[in-house]
Structure 1
Amino acid sequence: MSTTPTRPVTVTAPPDGEAAAAPWFGLLRAVRLAPARIAFEVRGYFRQGDTVFFTFLFPVLFLVLFSAIFSGDITAAGAAGTGVEGGESGTVITMATYYLPGMLAAGLLLSGVQNLAIDIAIEKGDGRLKRLGGTPMSPVTYFLGKFGQVVVTGLGQVALLLLVARFAFDVALPTEPSRWLTFAWLYVLGMSASALLGIALSSVPRSGRSASAVVIPIVLVLQFISGVYVANFDLPDSVQTIASFFPLAWMARGMRSVFLPEDFAILERGEVWGQGETALALLAWLVVGAILSRLTFRWLRRDA
């Protein structure tokens, strides 16, 4: 019985430079595909009437309602109960001006937390997320698509709120570049933290059908205790303390520092705007959101 000698098989490893570059090529490809994914997500967003109403138009609707119902003027000293009757009591603003910052902050929360938490939970529940996980599409592309959708729709919402406030209610917008610079970092930190927290919260509903019932009450309660629907100076200290453990109260406070006159800082806790504290709080929530989303996100339902 003869045996045929077997020639040894030589496996040649790729050069070190090519091996190191391979992950970078994958990342670059994922980033290159992101614009198409963002466009897909934005189209899907605006095709859902309920999502557009409860996340995109909701703050605009409440700005219109509150500005019409609570018509009149307000001063910081008068709101604090320190105004002098018949005398000068501070800068006078309309209630529309006062409510605008809160609605801008609520828009960040709705676009990031509520929108993504419900959307991803539904995709997970009906199996779309499982199918996406089995395709060559990188998770990086998927999440860039979600983040891009939040940024695009969030900027559109901000523009609509500012236009309605300015032209429907004659709200005077800031003219100082420093205030708009503050608005820019507030928007970036607030939207990023909200998006990451939305991804993390999407793991809580046990099914897509229960997503709205789980997420919306959480978001609604936060808006009531964080100085969005109820003026922050009318909230009890205990409620303000509880709200300070969540990002919305800091986003609303930061937005008030941008759009309200300086003397309105006396209505805040500590009687200062506390922009440094706001930045630190939002950075902390950004880190918490990143950790939670990394630990909790799954392509499949928990019961799958």
Structure 2
Amino acid sequence: MPPSASRPYSIKIFLPHGDPDGLRVIGKSNWTGTGVVFNRTAYQEAAKRPEITKTGVYILVGPSEDSSLPTVYIGEGDPIKPRLDSHYAGKDFWTWAVFFTAADGSLNKAHVKHLECRLVELAKAAKQANLDNVQTPQPPTLAEAELADTESFLADMLGIFPLLGLSVFEARAATARGKTMLFLKGTDIEAQGYESSRGFVVRKGSQAKKQTVPSYPDGTANLRNDLIRQEVLIKQNDTYAFSQDYVFNSPSLAASIVLGRNTNGRTKWKDKSGKTLKELQTSEANQEATP
């Protein structure tokens, strides 16, 4: 399901304590949902919020050991507070969290079970995080109208996550239609990609070098190992191939993964006429600056 970013909308962020790095309450135009974002160190403040006593869904986020991808745990609670109390005491990995409830109390146990199931499903498909969930939740049976309403609630959540720096639920950044396709060629490999609002997308079927150079940066090597482990990169004869579209933070990171060495993606990715991404961006900037 795509996020609800295809239509204009506004996000409201309320800072109850006046601290932009502290607890935040998130609202969205024409939406009954409410999100509460907080650092682990501010959990005692979050635990006093009235929203935490309602039925809802939550995501715990933290760094991963031996991995460049974040670790996330997705859960639901009816109400939320006992579940988060348990995780505050028993789960050490998370450094911040967000939970969502309905301001009008319209979410019930079946609704949040569905949201939990769908978020786990989306995170597994995107492969942008390490899931701490041991068991895969089973979807509840919902009436057609309830299912539609719950999927609409999910779409609104997905439109908020990237603004919180949580981009782990979308496998595709955007359609490639209308994008300038870029190519990267190396010895025995070729990759295709394009720029999107979320980053640089390497397309399914692109190839990557099997070997890396000794000077390969540790962070990039860890990400490459993550992609191999999650089968985003799969062995194909003497190379790797991308099994799905994958979003990288920058064209340079994408190029470094493809080539197995540190490189400048803005000079390596080229369009079909041979112009580099840097040249294309410079040309666009000059055109916009011309009155």
Range of TM-score over shorter length: under 0.3
**TM-score between both structures, scaled by the size of structure 2:** 0.26
Tell me: higher relative CO, structure 1 or 2? Use CA pairs within 8 A at least 6 residues apart.
Answer: 1
Higher strand share: 2
Bigger radius of gyration among the two: 1
